[in-house]
Amino acid sequence: MLAKENQEYIKDERSIQDEINNCLDNSVSFCFNAGAGAGKTYALVESLKYVLNSKKILTYANSKALCITYTNAAKNEMRDRLGNNEQVVITTIHDFMWELIKRQQPLLLKVHREKIVSELNKINTLLEEDKKCECPDELESLLDNPEFIEQFYKSYSLNKPEFIANMQEYVQGEAFEELKKRFGNFKARINSLIKKKNYTQTLSNIDNKETGFTKVKYKSTYNRDNLNKMYFSHDTLLEYANKIIVTESTDIYKKMIVDKYSVIFIDEYQDTTEDVVMILKMLDDFAKKKNYNFTIGYYGDDVQNIFNKGIGDKLGEKHPNLKQINKKYNRRSSEEIIGTINKIRNDKIVQKSIYEDASGGTVTYCIVKDEDNFSESIQKVTEDYIKKHKNINQVDEFACLLLKHEGLSEIQGFKELFDSIKDMPKYKGDNYKQINTEFLSNNDKNLGYFLLYIKNLIRFKQLMLDKNTPIKTIISYVKDDKDSRKLTFLMLRKFNEQFIKIENESKESTLSEYLERLIKVSKEEILVKNLLCSIFGLDKEIIELEDIKNSAVNFFKCEDNTEKVNVFFYLSIKQFVNWYKHLTREMSINMNYLTYHNSKGLEFDNLLVIYDNIFARDKSYFSKFLTNLEGEGLSESKEEKWREARNLLYVACSRARKNLCMVIKESDLHEISEGIRALGFSEKSI
């Protein structure tokens, strides 16, 4: 199966590549839109090879082809496929944007300053809107006492009675009444006032060109800005780049970019943000107006847009006049699966297999009883399935996709951690959905900033336990850039010994105990101190557990109820390790469980898709699609939700190469049975 190519289709596939090549020869920007498994990555690599072999495209001195991928993993895959070549730059969107603007320090300072002013305005509005506070001036005057501020942060993550007791010495009169009456708000207000004071100070430092305030930096390891420390993270990077290139840049600057890169390819364009598309469009318009040799090629599939920040099907609107090139062949899946995924997407792209021997796959559904413990029944189904398919031996031969975190976290051994996250005020109400990206994304850039700190801590722990980790990697965590002293072998050896000792003592520990051990050693050992500073974004000589807890209180919005943060810190370190292993897919074959979202870009011979209809507090997440496949009679907002469900189901089902099986609970079946049969699923027991 999937071995004999149809020569006529192959000829046609080549003519599609010729169409792309023709665009490259004539500087016509284009959008190559093709369904799942069409070989978009392959076409992109072919396009790059064509550019390198052509004498007509990279004509300016030193001009290069640029290929922008969405993640580091995609970047590495592309590099593996193409090999090293000086004329091709393969990079992620963030690294590329930073490359473009990092030498524009005066403009960067200007937009950074504007951002601080806008943050200050937001704080002022927030403070003004809080009409309930009866003594705003008294609270503001507390900031004049540095001892108060010190005690405030030391006590920040304590519970209400302890916090009030610690504040008693510094807060009197009306301010103390306010603290007792509105505990959470008191903390939030003081926090905002301190921020306001710090921003105001930073503005003055920038204006006076104080040391340390003449340059702004992008930090790719954090998911959070620290505007006062003059660094910013991914989202702000795109915002700054957009302002600098689209609004502030001169023609000379635009010409420099266009001279340097005659061709820009964007992989998975549907996930690109509007900010980035605006920059690309502006460069394209500029080059066309001046008649420069310059092409932009977008590669992707608008139906596979499952992250809400992406441009999705709005590309044509935001970057008009692109030549549309579509491809209708599928190189991944059996005929049966292609039939089903065509019906799910139900648009102009109706795929057929490029192979003559594509039939023989299966598209089925099986019914499971509504057991109390659904996770257990999924595990059982998985085991039975693997037993029955004796040819499943490798990780890419089987996966089981789940929609919801609950079941998945239980199976993968981090349920208590998930329960603690779910309980955080940050994820209440509509924000519940954010857990999927901020806690469970396999792309670090999407993780919530505090959760990325914890992931990096566990990553470091795992790296230290792996004998193959290069010393250079360890040094990148423990070296302080500001410290010019050399790291000696002796220092590293001692660090290693201490770390392993802590590891051995912490096997059954909680996160809090583990951190406390590290913190204790950090008081004497500079490398451990550097490690904690680098992981948690701290800039302190002496680190306390409160520094890390305070960050959690802010991130999880627990000012009012710090107990929830304690629950998080009292979880077993094993819960965090299992979460980490799940995100990095360090699991065995029969543990190859993924969320629908994280399966994007992957492929498996055999795929179990666990049907679930409750997602992000929506109780008819997939049934709204499966009971209305044509999307008829929907209001604008309902249509958006319908499309979101359709796209996610498409991404999930199109990961299968040979056998696709949907597992459905008995109680869910009735509502959707007509829909799934219309899509080509037939009933079969496992």
Ligand X SMILES: Nc1ncnc2c1ncn2[C@@H]1O[C@H](COP(=O)(O)OP(=O)(O)OP(=O)(O)O)[C@@H](O)[C@H]1O
How many residues can be counted in the chain? 686
Least distance between ligand X and beta carbon 33 (Å): 10
Q: Taking the C-alpha atoms of 32, 37, 41 and 45 in order, what is their torsion angle to the nearest 10 degrees?
A: -90
Stretch that binds ligand X, among 36-44, 248-256, 316-324, 677-685 (CB under 6 A): 36-44
Q: Which stretch binds ligand X (CB under 6 A): 38-46, 121-129, 555-563, 586-594?
A: 38-46
Site size for ligand X (CB under 6 A): 15
Half-sphere exposure (Cβ direction) of 650: Cα atoms closer than 13 Å: 25
Is 73 a binding residue for ligand X by CB under 6 A? The answer is no
Backbone angles phi and psi of 34, in degrees to 5: -145, 150
* Interface of this chain with ligand X, residues 48 to 67, rule: CB under 6 A: none
C-beta of 519: minimal distance to ligand X in Å? 44
**Residue 37 sits in the site that holds ligand X (CB under 6 A):** yes
CA angle, residues 228, 230, 234, in degrees to nearest 5: 110
Q: Are 200 and 140 in contact (CB under 8 A)?
A: no
**Residues tagged in the binding site annotation for ATP:** 34-41
Tell me the DSSP string of 481-500: TT--SPPPHHHHHHHHHHHH
The number of CA neighbours under 13 Å toward the Cβ of 25 is 9
Contact string 599-628 vs ligand X (x = CB under 6 A): --x-x-------------------------
Binding mask 280-319 for ligand X (x = CB under 6 A): ---------------------x--x---------------
Give residues with Cβ within 8 angstroms of 348, minimum separation 6: 326
Considering only the stretches 40-48, 116-124, 179-187, 234-242, report the one whose residues sit in contact with ligand X under the rule CB under 6 A.
40-48
Closest distance to ligand X from the beta carbon of 651 (Å): 8
For the sheet with 323-327, list strands across it: 88-92, 64-69, 261-266, 295-300, 30-34, 323-327
The reply to whether 461 sits near ligand X by the rule CB under 6 A is no
- Nearer to ligand X by Cβ, of 32 and 622: the residue is 32
- The answer to whether residue 36 forms part of the interface with ligand X (CB under 6 A) is yes
Residues 6+ apart with CB under 8 A from 136: 127, 189
Whose structure tokens read 């996610």? Answer: 648
Instruction: Select from 41, 85, 166, 623 the one that contacts ligand X (CB under 6 A).
Output: 41
Q: Which stretch binds ligand X (CB under 6 A): 37-45, 92-100, 470-478, 610-618?
A: 37-45
Of 23 and 337, CB closest to ligand X = 337
C-beta of 657: minimal distance to ligand X in Å? 8
The four Cα atoms 236, 240, 242, 244 give a dihedral, to 10 degrees, of 180
DSSP state of 321: S
Is residue 81 close enough to count as binding ligand X by CB under 6 A? no
For residue 34, the minimal CB distance to ligand X (Å) is 6
| Min dist. Cβ of residue 530 to ligand X (A) | 40
How many Å is the maximal CA-CA distance in the chain?
Answer: 87
Q: Which is nearer to ligand X, 301 or 547 (CB)?
A: 301
Residue 1 CB, nearest distance to ligand X (Å)? 13
Stretch that binds ligand X, among 34-42, 88-96, 246-254, 624-632 (CB under 6 A): 34-42
Residue nearest to ligand X (CB): 39
In the set 21, 30, 31, 40, which binds ligand X (CB under 6 A)?
Answer: 40
Nearest approach, Cβ of residue 647 and ligand X (Å): 12
Q: Does 361 bind ligand X (CB under 6 A)?
A: no
Q: Which of 33-41, 122-130, 551-559, 585-593 is the region at the interface with ligand X (rule: CB under 6 A)?
A: 33-41
Site for ligand X (CB under 6 A): which residue of 16, 20, 31, 38? 38
Report the C-alpha gap between 609 and 589 in whole angstroms: 16
Pick the closer one to ligand X by CB: 202 or 442.
Answer: 442
**For the chain, how are helix, strand and coil distributed in percent, rounded to 5?**
55, 10, 30
Nearer to ligand X, 39 or 448 (CB): 39
Among 75, 115, 234, 332, binds ligand X (CB under 6 A): 332
Residues 225-232: contacts with CB under 8 Å, at least 24 apart:
226/537, 227/112, 227/115, 227/116, 227/119, 227/199, 227/202, 228/198, 228/199, 228/201, 228/202, 229/539, 230/112, 230/202, 232/112, 232/115
| Cβ burial, residue 388 (10 Å; 0-12/13-18/19+) | exposed
Report whether 255 contacts 219 (CB < 8 A). Answer: no
The annotation places the binding site at 34-41
The Cα 552–Cα 520 span in angstroms is 20
Stretch that binds ligand X, among 31-39, 89-97, 193-201, 531-539 (CB under 6 A): 31-39
Q: Coil, strand, or helix at residue 27?
A: coil
The residues that touch ligand X, with contacts defined as CB under 6 A, are 34, 36-42, 301, 304, 331-332, 601, 603, 654
